[in-house]
Amino acid sequence: MSLNREDVEKLCLLARIEITTEEIADVQAKLSDIVKLVDQLQAVDTSDVIPMAHPLDRAQRLRPDEVTEIDERERFQRNAPLVDKALYLVPKVIE
Amino acid sequence: MALAMHNKTLAQLADDLAARRVSATELTDHYLKRIERLDPQLNAFVTVTRDEAMAQAKAADKRLAAGDATPLTGIPIAHKDLFCTQGVKTSCGSKILDNFISPYDATVVSRLKEAGAVMLGKTNMDEFAMGSSSEASYYGPVHNPWDHERVPGGSSGGSAAAVAAGLICGATGTDTGGSIRQPAALSGITGFKPTYGRVSRYGMVAFASSLDQAGTLTRTAEDGALMMQVMAGFDERDSTALPDPVPAFSATMRTPWEAITIGVPENFFDDGLDEDSALAIRDAIGVFETLGATIKEIHLDHIHLSVPAYYVVAPAEASSNLSRFDGVRFGHRAEETDDLTKFYMRTRGEGFGPEVKRRILTGTYVLSAGYYDAYYLQAQKVRQLISDDFARAFADVDILVGPTSPTPAFGIGQKMDDPIQMYLNDIYTIGANLAGLPALSMPCGFSSGLPVGVQLIGPHLSEAELFKVAHYFQQETDWHTRVPDGYA
């Protein structure tokens, strides 16, 4: 199936990606091509198939619930665009 | 005439270092000069770490003198710019990480560092490893040393071009749908992707976590084995790292040839495969036959669905993994927004390139309410069918041999506006990722003067067998010794 302009705008909002008005037609056309490609999957009868959970059919291991890492906030925050008193700053979200 | 340093294999250089015929400092200096002189025409590197490299080389020389060296001590390598490297920019080929200095090393990076390998820099790639040409990078396209107007393949194209051009002795790469094997094929070198879970993903920027796997790009299988020996093995920090012991690859490689059966997936040799590539691959199968392998035709019933299944699973996982790039804790941040939603949207709109946006949007689509069962669940079921086909094949044969890529290197710009054509480049490689299988591509001839790769796929944890079969092939052939014009 192909996507219309509103579909693409909704996806952009869900994915938090801004697309310019000039870009949107191209994105819409290419996404529609991709959806067409993956729609080939619909023709396969998979009623008896269990979806794959792990390529080697293994379970993930567990570890004891212990603190193993040290606090390195200062080092990690060196990459942050905007920090104040060890807090990450973002645009105001509450009035 | 003796081979120039940069045309030697990693194994040969390891011998030279051990015998003190060359020092790590000389070797590093030689490669750094080649990068300086030749990389402007290839664009294989995003970052060159000259000072760190010279310091590491000096330390390697001390270890060599003290008799405390490993086969990798003093060997110049480069990392795909997707592996976190402490104190060094880790961009993943993206504007959104252009200012990111990693605070820690990936496990692959720290293991190679501990072995004494010398890192000369970080290699260019398709943004977030999403691509098959290494054109979709914030830092511009990588050029193929065999023809500068063509792509080196991708996404590990910087690593592939650098090894093929003798700018580095070996490099790391990652392979989510063919991103090591396809550039290795298009650049005329050997690329190895291990079993899912064999190498720790800790410190690799995540793309599709159930498919991503780190591996090597080198001149020969023997060189790949030397690097993999250090990279492979359990890691506490990756919950999907396999606990299984890692065999001694170099030792098993030298054991006598055993009678093996090679399966040839006949449906890989369809109309989509370039004719001269097909001939080169048939010749390679002939070499295996001469070595004493039994050849058996097989059919993978669902392999034609691997590209559609991949383009549901990989974008779905990517859309989730890439949600971390929000402009708050690290990376690019949009200016002058007063609203949080707008802030996120603008940051990501500015920071991601067109292909990454398409993948995130595709992933968002297939995971959205009402579509999950029809797409993601269905793709995971088809993935199981594809995996079962491989399992059935391996009940009859030891390894599979076929093409790596439908065509040799294509022109820069040729497929950038047609994502579907770009995706179909990985038609022969994606199956191994979906099933978590180890696979290797190595040079086996030329088509119109461009290198052709032959792909070997083995059952889970058959790394040692794949290396051995490839090593025997490379002792019978000399395709892996060919060097592009201007790089001898």
**The whole model's pTM is what?**
0.97
pLDDT at B202: 98
Between B46 and A2, the more confident residue is: B46
Measured CA to CA, the distance from residue B32 to residue B38 in angstroms comes to 10
Asked if residues B400 and B142 have their Cβ atoms less than 8 Å apart, the reply is no
Q: How many CA atoms lie within 13 A of B8 on its CB side?
A: 19
Instruction: Tell me if B148 is assigned to some domain.
Output: yes
In a mutational test of the B interface, the residue from A10, A17, A31, A44 whose CB has the highest number of chain B CBs within 10 Å is: A17
Catalytic (active site) residue B179: yes
Q: CA distances (Å), B341 to each of A22, B21, B37, B419, B472, in order?
A: 21, 61, 46, 29, 57
pLDDT at A95: 67
Q: How many CA atoms lie within 13 A of B427 on its CB side?
A: 22
The tally of domains found in chain B comes to 1
Tens-digit pLDDT string for chain B (488 aa)? 567 999 999 999 999 999 999 999 999 999 999 999 999 999 999 999 999 999 999 999 999 999 999 999 999 999 999 999 999 999 999 999 999 999 999 999 999 999 999 999 999 999 999 999 999 999 999 999 999 999 999 999 999 999 999 999 999 999 999 999 999 999 999 999 999 999 999 999 999 999 999 999 999 999 999 999 999 999 999 999 999 999 999 999 999 999 999 999 999 998 899 999 999 999 999 999 999 999 999 999 999 999 999 999 999 999 999 999 999 999 999 987 889 999 999 999 999 999 999 999 999 999 998 999 999 999 999 999 999 999 999 999 999 999 999 999 999 999 999 999 999 999 999 999 999 999 999 999 999 999 999 999 999 999 999 999 999 999 999 999 999 999 99
Instruction: Tell me if A58 is assigned to some domain.
Output: no
Domain that includes residue A17, residue range = 5-43
pLDDT at A34 over 70: yes
Q: How far is A27 from chain B (nearest CA, A)?
A: 7
Q: Cα dihedral sign for B199, B200, B205, B206? A: positive
pLDDT at B21: 96
Catalytic (active site) residue B155: yes
Instruction: Tell me if B136 is assigned to some domain.
Output: yes
Q: Is A28 on the interface with B (CB under 8 A)?
A: no
Q: Is A21 on the interface with B (CB under 8 A)?
A: no
Q: Which positions ≥6 away from A34 have C-beta within 8 Å?
A: B311, B358, B362, B419, B420
pLDDT at A1: 67
Instruction: Tell me if B290 is assigned to some domain.
Output: no
Instruction: Tell me if B342 is assigned to some domain.
Output: no
To which residue do tokens 């003798």 refer? B166
* Mean pLDDT score, A69-86: 93
Q: Which residues of A touch B99 (CB under 8 A)?
A: 79
Measured CA to CA, the distance from residue B377 to residue B386 in angstroms comes to 14
Instruction: Tell me if B213 is assigned to some domain.
Output: yes
Among the partner residues B307, B329, B387, nearest to A88 by beta-carbon distance: B329
Domain that includes residue B169, residue range = 7-262+396-481
Its ipTM equals 0.96
C-alpha R_g of chain A? 22
Instruction: Tell me if B487 is assigned to some domain.
Output: no
The number of C-beta contacts closer than 8 angstroms across A and B is 173
Instruction: Tell me if A59 is assigned to some domain.
Output: no
CATH of the domain at B16: 3.90.1300.10
Does residue B134 have a cis bond before it (omega within 30 degrees)?
no
Q: Is B358 on the interface with A (CB under 8 A)?
A: yes
CB contact under 8 A, A46 and B302: no
Q: Is A94 on the interface with B (CB under 8 A)?
A: no
pLDDT at B404: 98
Residues in A 70-89 with any Cβ partner in B closer than 8 A: 72, 75-82, 88
From B215, B287, B259, select the one nearest B463 (Cα to Cα): B215
The tally of domains found in chain A comes to 1
| H-type alpha helices, B199-305 | 221-231, 249-253, 275-290
pLDDT at A93: 77
